[in-house]
Chains A and B, each alone.
Chain A
């Protein structure tokens, strides 16, 4: 998808000889555009839930929420969290679980490999009250955790094994990278066999939005207001069609 997006972007920009985007610039804009759209999925998902509650959304093919969930779930990762010390575990990151997390969905607790319960996130100003409560103190069946910096502290402290805590989280999309090997007729030739090649991870129907968003960044970069406005209008039209 990344090559067709780039070709479309270049075609629009080159139409009136507005300028040229180098592969490295394109990759930067592509990354930014993908993150923007990725972030919007969560906002749109919430908006769609509200519409469902207002009974202005349908089911079956009209189930827009399902589509959003499917896209978000493609970024879902389940991984054992790396132990820091005792009942403190590192949050998912490139150095511990291999990928940075956008949203920590659930934290599951295990004892000897046997699932015990899902830990609930509790704010730091409530945790003391909770641990001192007779009825609701964190227990092996109903654990809790708080977040400090790059780590979480799991309660009760009996969860202190290296494989006791597992995180289910939504990772960030990987940085897209349009790769090439050589120049052909003065132009870099697309080569997806490169080791660092990375396509967009968003679904195909987002290509229009990606083009529009990249055009906005490119328009600012080459100081062409027309390109920026074109990208903006394209995106607005796309959004109106979707809603």
Chain B
């Protein structure tokens, strides 16, 4: 792909969306990666030869997926309102969650994952505890009592959020303003792992939803999550940070050589080491460790802790 001139970069030549090229120089497209690999690493005089392009494409995409899972810091965020069904449907490109927030009073409050089960499937049982089946011989199901109770707000929790703030500290009259009636130290022996006033959640991966307790009803939720970078299958939008470009080539080369018959083991090992070294390099580069940032952190060492 050709370099963009500055007018095209800043204004997209007036074509909407005009901001489409902003920051694009950080990335190299999948299209370029495949073309470059075929030109530079594949051919009659290269280690990789006589390979179908779809194999190269497959390994390139796998490399980008793997990078998206942990090496990249490309975190997406989605804000939705949680309604009475107390669930947040996972985004279409969701792979794993990073953080979940309650957005309330212009403040983001990080939510705690509930380690207790929040939702269950219930089989319909007869008086003799046997199951009933439909015409397809599948067990008949119904909404579980656990779900009903949770949605109604009657579910007691090991967390603190089933009650209001005043209940946390019985002496609290005006908890926000009165420092003498604050909750500090109010509950001795509390399990700190589960001590949180905010709503809690559980992710049901199979069902594709996040289940909340009833205190989350009609409140704003922001989910930070990671995807796999496949851009819903649109090949023209898949891209990778330039810091990882060489790693992607090395990954493709290694993956092909590793699965090819008759390639000497030392060549496979060389490709493997190259791939791993390039990944390390790229991660260090992306971590942005440089003196001015360290200096900012070290300035805090003289701060008095009250």
Docked Cα-Cα span, A120 to B34, in Å, equals: 13
Determine whether the beta carbon of A144 is less than 8 Å from that of B54.
yes
Interface residues of A in 135-175 (CB under 8 A from B): 135-136, 139-142, 144
Instruction: Give the residue name and chain of the B residue nearest to A129 (CB).
Output: B54
Determine whether the beta carbon of A139 is less than 8 Å from that of B235.
yes
Interface residues of B in 174-213 (CB under 8 A from A): none
Contacts of A122 in B (CB 8 A): 52, 54
Partner of A142, one of B45, B57, B62: B57
Contacts of A52 in B (CB 8 A): 44-45
Size class of the A contact interface (CB-based, 8 Å): 10 to 19
CB contact under 8 A between A49 and B44, given known A120-B52, A141-B235: yes
Determine whether the beta carbon of B57 is less than 8 Å from that of A135.
yes
Determine whether the beta carbon of A135 is less than 8 Å from that of B58.
yes
Instruction: Give the residue name and chain of the A residue nearest to B54 (CB).
Output: A136
Contacts of B62 in A (CB 8 A): 135
Instruction: Give the residue name and chain of the B residue nearest to A49 (CB).
Output: B44
Contacts of B52 in A (CB 8 A): 120, 122
Instruction: Give the residue name and chain of the B residue nearest to A138 (CB).
Output: B54
What is the minimal beta-carbon distance from B62 to any residue of chain A, in angstroms?
A: 7
Q: Does A134 contact B (CB under 8 A)?
A: yes
Determine whether the beta carbon of B57 is less than 8 Å from that of A136.
yes
Contacts of B61 in A (CB 8 A): 135-136
Contacts of A141 in B (CB 8 A): 31, 235-236
Contacts of A1 in B (CB 8 A): none
Best-buried of A52, A120, A135 by chain B (most CB within 10 Å): A135
Docked Cα-Cα span, A136 to B45, in Å, equals: 26
Q: Does B233 contact A (CB under 8 A)?
A: yes
Q: Does A53 contact B (CB under 8 A)?
A: yes
A-B contact pairs, 22 of them (CB 8 A): A49-B44, A49-B45, A52-B44, A52-B45, A120-B52, A120-B53, A120-B54, A122-B54, A133-B54, A133-B58, A134-B233, A135-B58, A135-B62, A135-B230, A136-B54, A136-B57, A139-B233, A140-B235, A141-B31, A142-B34, A142-B54, A144-B54
Per CB-CB distance, the 5 closest pairs between chain A and chain B, nearest first, are A136-B54, A120-B53, A141-B235, A49-B44, A135-B61
Extra contacts besides A49-B44, A122-B54 (20): CB < 8 Å: A49-B45, A52-B44, A53-B45, A120-B53, A120-B54, A122-B52, A130-B54, A133-B54, A133-B58, A135-B58, A135-B62, A135-B230, A136-B54, A136-B57, A136-B58, A139-B235, A140-B235, A141-B236, A142-B57, A142-B235
